[in-house]
Amino acid sequence: MTPACPLQLNDHGRLRHFLSLDGLPRELLTEILDTADSFLEVGARAVKKVPLMRGMTVCNVFFENSTRTRTTFELAAKRLSADVITLNVSTSSTSKGETLTDTLRTLEAMAADMFVMRHADSGAAHFVAEHVSPNVAIINGGDGRHAHPTQGMLDMLTIRRHKGDFSQLKVAIVGDILHSRVARSNMIALKTLGCPDIRVIAPKTLLPVGLEQYGVNVYHNIEQGLKDVDVVIMLRLQRERMRSGLLPSESEFYRLFGLSEQRVALAHPEAIVMHPGPINRGVEIDSSVADSPRAMILNQVTYGIAVRMAVLSMTMSGQNEQRQLDAEKSAQQEAR
C-alpha cells in the first residue's frame, strides 16, 4: 500500500478530503467505523437529523449514474442538516464540451463547502482535490477502477457489526476483481484492519496485476476458496467495462463462479454474504442466496448512510480545523 495521500489529511492527521483508503492508518479507519456506529442511532429516531453541518452546502456531482450511492449520500448530508445540491453532470454540461475544470469552477461559484464526486476516470477525485479552492472538501464517490472508499468502509462496518474482530476472520472476495474499485478498497481496508486471511476468487482473465501488494491469497476454484470463510463478498460482473474475450458467457461465469446454496454451504455455518449492488441474479449470485438470512445486502445500504454521515462530518471537521491552523500560522507570520 502507498502512503496516505497528503491531500487527504490536515496538519494534525485529520481528514481534509476523502479520496482513497490507501495508506490511511488503522486508527482513522476505526474512528470512521466508531463514528458511523453512533450515527446508526440517528436513523432509528422519529426525527432523523443532527445539526453538525447546518449552514453547510454539499454538492453531489455525479459524472456516472449510481442510484444507491447518490441517494445515500443525499440522505447522509440531509441528516447532518446540510443543504444538498445534486447534479447529474453526465447529462449536463460535459456532454456539451465543458471540461472537468470548467465544471469545478462553476460549482465553486455556487459557494459549496463540499463536493461528493463520482467519475468514470481513475484519479478524477484526486485531480479535483489538487485544483479546488482550499476551503472546499472533496469526497470520492467512486472513480474508474481506482477506489470507492465509502463503499469499502460501509462493508467494513457490516463485517464488524456482524462478525466482530477482524483479526480472527477469513474473508473471500469473489468475481470481477479486475474492474472493481470496490474490491480494491475492500482489500486495503481489510489488510489495514488486521484481517489475516483475505481471499480473492476469480478467473485469471478477471484478475489485475500486482495483487500481491494487498496480501491476498488468490484462488481460481470457488469451492476451494470458500472453504470455512466467515464473509463472502460477491462483486457485480461489470460487462460495461469489459473488452471482448474476457468471459465466454454469463452462464459460464455462473457455472464456475456463481454463488449458489451448495457453494455457500462450504463456508463457515455462520458466514455472511455481501454484495455492493446492484445484484445480477443468476449471474454472480443465486436468488435463494441473495434473499437468505445470511445476506447482508440491505443492511449494507442502511450502514452506508451512517458511514457517509461519518465521512462527511469528519471531513468537514478536519477542513475547518485546517482553516483555523492556516489562520493561526498567518497571524504568527504577520506578528513577526
Positions at the binding site for carbamoyl phosphate: 68-69, 118, 148, 151, 277-278
Looking at residue 281, the DSSP 8-state letter turns out to be B
Count the neighbouring beta carbons within 10 Å of the beta carbon of residue 213. Answer: 11
For helices 149-163 and 67-79, angle between their N-to-C axes, nearest 10 degrees? 80
Report d(CA 296, CA 298) in Å as an integer. 6
φ, ψ of residue 33 to 5 degrees: the values are -65, -45
What region does 234 belong to: left with phi over 0, alpha with psi -120 to 50, or beta?
beta
Report d(CA 322, CA 136) in Å as an integer. 11
Instruction: Mark the binding-site residues for L-aspartate, compressed into ranges.
Output: 96, 181, 236
Report d(CA 4, CA 133) in Å as an integer. 21
What's the Rg (C-alpha) of the chain? 20
Looking at residue 148, the DSSP 8-state letter turns out to be -
Instruction: Mark the binding-site residues, compressed into ranges.
Output: 68-69, 96, 118, 148, 151, 181, 236, 277-278
Amino acid at the residue 307: V
What cell numbers appear for 113 in the block?
463547502
Reduced to 3 states (helix: H, G, I; strand: E, B; else coil), residue 227 is: coil
